């Protein structure tokens, strides 16, 4: 099945509402068939994921775009809790750290998590989104 023929479910976890608005617009511009849910902190995202896992594990997101610095539960704590709870035992979901951090220790730490596919610096752009989601243009 082509990536363009099915709906791609994305969970955006970032406390910056303006950034979320822009990211959602860019993702929808890059990908036609997307369902995007935004959470303003890691705790809320974990709660939603646990509920999805219990009700319908098939509906877990295809991608999680995760900020590092957030109140209540930051990105690192989210990753630890996500792993501890075994939310995605089939490893369906691809997690990307999306951060404005330029600290090399954050980039190294992100890459040390087996769950994390890559570290992406903000701001997002359409080309980078297409790269993340594997969109091939003719």
The candidate with the shortest Cα–Cα distance to 124, out of 2, 6, 40, 16, is 16
Instruction: Give me the pLDDT at residue 5, please.
Output: 58
- What are the tens digits of pLDDT across the range 67-123? 999 999 999 999 999 999 999 988 889 999 998 877 788 889 998 999 999 998 888
- pLDDT of amino acid 121: 86
Q: What is the mean pLDDT of residues 21-40?
A: 91
Q: Is the pTM of this model over 0.75?
A: yes
Q: Please report the domains of the chain, with CATH numbers, ordered by start residue.
A: 15-106 (3.40.50.2300)
Whole-angstrom distance, CA of residue 20 vs CA of residue 44: 15
Label residues 46-81 b or e (16+ Cβ within 10 Å = b).
beebeebbeeeeeebbbbbbbbbebeebbbbebbeb
Using alpha carbons only, what angle is made at residue 20 by residues 19 and 26, rounded to the nearest 5 degrees?
A: 90
Collapsing DSSP to helix, strand or coil, 39 comes out as strand
Give Cα separations from 54 to 8, 31, 73, 81, 87 (angstroms). Answer: 20, 28, 21, 16, 9
- Structure confidence by residue, pLDDT tens digits, 38-71: 999 999 999 999 999 999 888 899 999 999 999 9
> Which tops the pLDDT comparison, 127 or 138?
127
């Amino acid at each position: 099945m082509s990536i363009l023929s099915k709906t791609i479910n994305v969970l955006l976890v970032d406390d910056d509402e303006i950034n979320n608005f822009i990211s959602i617009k860019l993702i929808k511009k890059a990908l036609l068939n997307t369902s995007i849910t935004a959470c303003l902190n890691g705790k809320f995202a974990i709660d939603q994921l646990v509920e999805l896992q219990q009700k319908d594990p098939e509906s877990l997101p295809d991608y999680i775009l995760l900020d590092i610095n957030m109140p209540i539960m930051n990105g690192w704590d989210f990753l630890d809790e996500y792993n501890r709870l075994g939310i995605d035992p089939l490893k369906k979901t691809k997690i990307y750290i999306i951060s404005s951090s330029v600290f090399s220790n954050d980039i190294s730490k992100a890459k040390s998590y087996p769950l994390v596919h890559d570290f992406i610096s903000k701001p997002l752009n359409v080309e980078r989104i297409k790269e993340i989601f594997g969109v091939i243009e003719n």
